[in-house]
């Protein structure tokens, strides 16, 4: 393929993507296929000779599209939203076309330096403490990781290595293996599953502490667990708090957690993957309380800030703690500017060696949308969630499970858990909208999150009508099943009574 053919192919591909996004509302959110469908549509080996790119693009429609769950659809209400915008798509195209690997500053200075710039832009936009800025004279700064999962794992492993070093100096009689075996970490039972996974990958015990009745982890809960572990000779390592929990978008009590962590020399990391966007809004300024006590935090730009996946911001108050933990410096990565400039080598701040030029799509997005546009976009999602909340509150057959939080509404039909599950099954089977189920204790409920690339009021109205109509179906089935059960009970009782009176059992026809 030469440059001219590439131009032709790429223009057709851009048209395909634009048409897809413009018409995504017309697609069922969930696919109607069975596992293994694609393997039956494609040959078992790659083609020996080149195929025309037009045939490849045709197979996007024939092979790929039928198996898509449409995350960009405004009828997708499961999980948390996956951000996207046309500028971000263009930024990713430029990133892929230039195709640098930013494993060091010299490998592509623009890759490193643009990331420093946009991460400071974002820190100021979110009004983070100045210690998290590269431009601050301290050792802090921000980096673009792939996801919240990576950010949390980096924080845990850096905290682990710092703790081992500290305890080895404090107790030289202890071996490293002894110290590592005593490390224990903390989080809420409402935290994302990636927190528990980080404990597994980092070989550190992760205690998921029960949140309070409002789904919040507090300093009081943490301190009780810490004191119990200290009594058993264990070493508290890190607390991973959440702002915007997966189940209900609850906010852990950062000020009280921070006080406890400082008291017991525990690393405090905040996972603000979803709710961190609200830092930018003055009406949510209370969510920034206590961030000055935090050692590190992460926020997913690919949720609210219109940047395509994958793009997670992570900030460190003292990046040297991570660099000291991860630094491996072979001779082939050295260059003459090392130590002569203030630019970081981000390979020391992350798990992989290589890194994509993600800052490019962030830069393109922020420049073409602007801070004002981003704030308006976040508020729009909040307003749409309020609209859905009002629908729930206006129908006496439903109840709220938790307070609405940003773009998330947690609700359920009144009644037992089976009714909630049956409603979800009905909605999923029809594929018009997509929700998921969650639970708190023994109570099952549904999560409705404002998602899609460009959600509108009519999309919320459509979803609510779909939910109401399918609850009607569920309630009708319950009624008919109840009638049938009553008839069966009466019939069985009548048959038994006739038999007891010395008469032959009545026939099915007579029943």
Asked, for residue 237, whether it belongs to a domain, the answer is yes
Count how many residues are written for the chain. 511
Is residue 491 included in any domain, yes or no? no
User: Does residue 38 belong to any structural domain of this protein?
Assistant: no
For residue 210, the domain's CATH number is 3.40.640.10
- Provide the percentage of residues in the chain whose pLDDT is more than 70: 92
Active site annotation includes 23: no
Lowest mean pLDDT, pick from 54-63, 115-124, 207-216, 333-342: 333-342
User: Which residues, 6 or more positions from 144, have their beta carbon under 8 angstroms from its beta carbon?
Assistant: 115, 119, 301, 311, 312, 313, 314, 358, 359, 362
Q: How is residue 49 written in tokens?
A: 């000779």
Structural domain contains residue 104 = yes
CA distance 351 to 147: 12
Q: Which is the catalytic residue, given 23, 99, 192, 425?
A: 192
- CA end-to-end span of the chain, whole Å? 77
User: Residue 459 has what pLDDT?
Assistant: 95
Q: Is the pLDDT of residue 90 over 50?
A: yes
- Give residue 97's pLDDT: 92
Q: Tell whether the model's pLDDT for residue 337 goes beyond 70.
A: no
407-459 pLDDT, tens digit per residue, is 999 999 999 999 999 999 999 999 999 999 988 778 899 999 999 888 999 99
Whether 196 contacts 152, CB under 8 Å: no
pLDDT given for residue 332 in this prediction: 47
pLDDT of residue 138: 83
Whole-number Å distance between alpha carbons of 169 and 165: 6
Asked, for residue 508, whether it belongs to a domain, the answer is no
CA distance 426 to 352: 43
- pLDDT number for residue 489: 64
**Residue with tokens 């403490």, as numbered in its chain:** 129
Asked, for residue 433, whether it belongs to a domain, the answer is no
User: Domain span at residue 296?
Assistant: 100-356
High-pLDDT (> 90) share of the chain, % = 64
Q: What's the mean pLDDT when you consider all of the chain?
A: 89
Q: Is residue 320, in this structure, part of any structural domain at all? A: yes
List, for residues 273-314, the tens digit of each pLDDT value. Answer: 999 999 999 999 999 999 999 999 999 988 888 899 889 999
- Where does the pLDDT of residue 478 fall: very low under 50, low under 70, confident under 90, or very high at 90 and above? confident
pLDDT of residue 452: 87
Tell me, what DSSP letter sits at residue 314?
E
Please check the confidence at residue 380 and state whether its pLDDT lies above 70.
yes
- Concatenated DSSP letters of 122-182: HHHHTT--GGG-TTSSSS-EEEEES-HHHHHHHHHHHHHHHHHHHHHHH-TTS-HHHHHHH
Confidence of residue 217 (pLDDT cuts 50, 70, 90): very high
pLDDT of residue 511 exceeding 50, the answer is no
Q: What's the pLDDT at 495?
A: 58
Total structural domains in the chain?
1
Does residue 505 form part of some domain? no
């Amino acid at each position: 393929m030469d440059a001219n053919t590439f131009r032709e192919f790429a223009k057709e591909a851009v048209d395909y993507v634009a048409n897809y996004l413009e018409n995504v509302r017309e697609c069922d959110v969930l696919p109607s296929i069975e596992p293994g469908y694609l393997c039956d549509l494609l040959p078992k080996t790659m083609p020996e000779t080149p195929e025309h790119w037009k045939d490849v693009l045709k197979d996007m429609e024939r092979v790929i599209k039928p198996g898509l769950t449409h995350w960009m659809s405004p009828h997708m209400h499961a999980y948390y939203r996956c951000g996207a915008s046309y500028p971000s798509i263009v930024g990713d195209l430029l990133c892929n076309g230039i195709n640098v690997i930013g494993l060091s500053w010299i490998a592509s200075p623009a890759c490193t330096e643009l990331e420093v710039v946009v991460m400071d832009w974002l820190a100021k936009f979110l009004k983070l403490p100045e210690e998290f800025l590269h431009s601050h004279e301290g050792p802090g700064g921000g980096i673009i990781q792939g996801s919240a999962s990576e950010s949390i794992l980096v924080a845990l492993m850096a905290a682990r290595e710092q703790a081992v070093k500290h305890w080895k100096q404090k107790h030289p009689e202890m071996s490293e293996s002894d110290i590592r075996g005593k490390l224990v970490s903390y989080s809420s039972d409402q935290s994302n599953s990636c927190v528990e996974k980080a404990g597994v990958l980092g070989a550190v015990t992760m205690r998921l502490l029960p949140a309070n009745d409002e789904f919040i982890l507090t300093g009081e809960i943490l301190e009780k667990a810490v004191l119990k572990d200290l009594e058993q000779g264990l070493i508290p390592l890190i607390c991973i708090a959440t702002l915007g929990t997966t189940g209900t978008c609850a906010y852990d009590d950062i000020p009280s957690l921070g006080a406890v962590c400082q008291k017991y020399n525990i690393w405090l990391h905040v996972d603000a993957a979803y709710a961190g966007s609200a830092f930018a809004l003055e009406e949510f300024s209370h969510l920034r309380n206590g961030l000055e006590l935090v050692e590190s935090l992460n926020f997913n730009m690919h949720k609210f800030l219109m940047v395509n996946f994958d793009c997670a911001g992570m900030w460190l108050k003292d990046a040297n703690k991570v660099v000291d933990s991860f630094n491996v410096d072979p001779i082939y990565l050295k260059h003459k500017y090392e130590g002569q400039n203030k630019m970081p080598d981000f390979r020391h701040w992350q798990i992989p060696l290589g890194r994509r030029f993600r800052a490019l799509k962030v830069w393109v997005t922020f420049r073409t949308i602007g801070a004002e546009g981003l704030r308006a976009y976040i508020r729009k999602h909040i307003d749409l969630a309020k609209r859905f909340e009002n629908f729930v509150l206006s129908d006496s057959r439903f109840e709220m499970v938790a307070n609405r939080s940003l773009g998330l509404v947690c609700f359920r039909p009144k009644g037992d858990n089976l009714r909630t599950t049956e409603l979800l099954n009905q909605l999923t089977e029809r594929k018009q909208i997509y929700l998921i189920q969650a639970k708190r204790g023994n109570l099952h409920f549904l999560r409705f999150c404002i998602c899609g690339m460009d959600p509108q009021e009519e999309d919320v109205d459509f979803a609510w009508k779909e939910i109401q109509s399918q609850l009607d179906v569920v309630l009708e089935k319950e009624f008919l099943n109840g009638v049938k059960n009553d008839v069966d009970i009466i019939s069985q009782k009548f048959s038994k009574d006739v038999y007891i009176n010395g008469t032959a059992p009545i026939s099915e026809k007579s029943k």
